[in-house]
Amino acid sequence: MTMRFEDPAADFIPAVQKVFGAEPRVLDGSRAVLVGDVKLQLEAGERELWLIERKGVLEHRLGMVEVHEDIEAALREAKERLDVEL
């Protein structure tokens, strides 16, 4: 029997750089990044990608994208949502 371990968070930072075309500021031990004034945060065992607008110390959750197998696909969906909302 072969066991397989997957960690979507391991590809999170490089995928953010590729999808958003910017160097993100890493927060919370690589489970969250800041791109402009939007925080992208992995939660629920890396199955949820939360989009959080930051204004100073205040945060407003804009929405959530489910992460299935490909973190890059979830980030592309997040970028589309952000382009529409912001």
H/E run at residue 59 = strand 58-66
Residue 16 confidence (pLDDT)? 92
Pure H helices in 34-85: 71-85
Q: Write down the pTM of the prediction.
A: 0.81
Domain spans, the chain: 11-70
25 Cβ neighbours under 8 A, 6+ residues apart = 33, 34, 35
3-62, pLDDT tens digit by residue?
665 555 568 889 999 999 988 888 877 789 999 889 999 987 778 999 999 888 889 999
More confident residue, 1 or 64: 64
Round to the nearest angstrom and report the end-to-end CA distance of the chain: 48
